[in-house]
């Protein structure tokens, strides 16, 4: 479950950064 949470966090961070880069 920790791995899944980390993957979700990575995806969330990537999306946030993408929005920020916008």
User: Residue 22: what pLDDT?
Assistant: 78
Output the CA angle 19-21-12, nearest 5 degrees: 40
User: Residue 17: what pLDDT?
Assistant: 96
What is the pTM assigned to this prediction?
A: 0.49
Give pLDDT tens digits for 1-22.
Answer: 788 999 999 999 999 999 998 7
């Amino acid at each position: 479950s920790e791995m899944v949470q980390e993957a979700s966090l990575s995806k969330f961070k990537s999306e946030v950064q993408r929005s920020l880069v916008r």
